[in-house]
Amino acid sequence: MTTSFIVLAAGKGSRMNSDLPKVLHPLHGKPLLHHILDTLHSLNTDTDHRYHLVVGYQADAVQRATQDYSIQYSIQHDQLGTGHAVQQALTTTVTPDEHTLVILPGDCPLISSSTLLNLLNTHHTASADATVLTTQLPNPGAYGRILRNASGDLIGIQEANDCSPEQLAITEINAGIYVFNRTALVDSIQTLTCANAQGEYYLTDVIGNLHTHHRIVSSVCTDDPTEAMGVNTADELSELAAKYTPNQ
C-alpha cells in the first residue's frame, strides 16, 4: 500500500505584494514550502511514500527551489481553485496503486508530523473515505467553516465567502489538510462545479458530496491552531514567525 502526499503550491499569493511565489517566502531563513516538505519526508509509517507538488505561478522557480526533494510535479496552468489543482495531480502523476492520498496546502509550515500521523491513523481506523483536519478559532475570519449535524457528524465544509450569518458564527474551521481514499476522491471530484462566490472548483465540496452519498467522513481536531495557520499576507507571515522558533 502506498501513501502519497499532494502539496498545492500553484498560487501567486497576490496579497503578499511580492513577485516571489507565496510558498517560497522565507520563515526563519527557509521557504514555507521547505518546512512542509521536510515534515512530510520525516514521517515514519508502514507504507511506501510518494510526493506530488502542484505548481503554477512561476512554476520553474518553485521546481528549482524543490529540486533536491524526491517529488513529482503537476502544472495547474489556470488557477481555478483547490479542486481543480488536485485534478491536475490525479490526471498526470498519481497512479492507481496510490491508495491513500494526503492533501495539504504549501503555505502551512507549522503542521506537525505527530498531527499528520494522527490524521492518517484516524483515517485508517475509521475505514474512512475522507478525513479532515480541523481546529477551533474564536475569530475564524476567512477560514472555511466545518458543518456538522445534530449527531456531530461532519457533513460538509462551507467556504467563508459562501457562508450564511449563522454559519459564519461557527468556530470550528477547516485546516485545509485531508486524507482521502483515492477511489472515493476520484469519483467525487468529477462532480465539482464552480457555482460559488469565487467561481472556483472547491476541494471542500468533495466532503459534502461524500456525505451525501453515504461515504464515511471522519475528522481530527488539533488543539494547536497554529498548525492550521496559512500565509496570505506579509503580516500573517510575521505573525507566524513570532509563533515559531527554529529550535522547536
Strand partners, 135: 173, 222
Asked if residues 106 and 63 have their Cβ atoms less than 8 Å apart, the reply is no
To which residue does cell 529540486 refer? 67
Helix (H) or strand (E) holding 27: strand 26-27
Active-site pick, 15, 148, 182, 215: 15
DSSP 16: G
Sequence-distant (≥ 6) Cβ neighbours of residue 154 within 8 angstroms: 132, 146, 147, 148, 207, 211, 217, 218, 219
The string of DSSP codes covering 51-99 is EEEEEBTBHHHHHHHTTTS--EEEE-SS---HHHHHHHHHHHT--TT--
End-to-end CA distance of the chain, in Å?
A: 32
Strand partners, 2: 48
Is residue 50 flagged as an active site residue?
no
Residues designated catalytic: 15
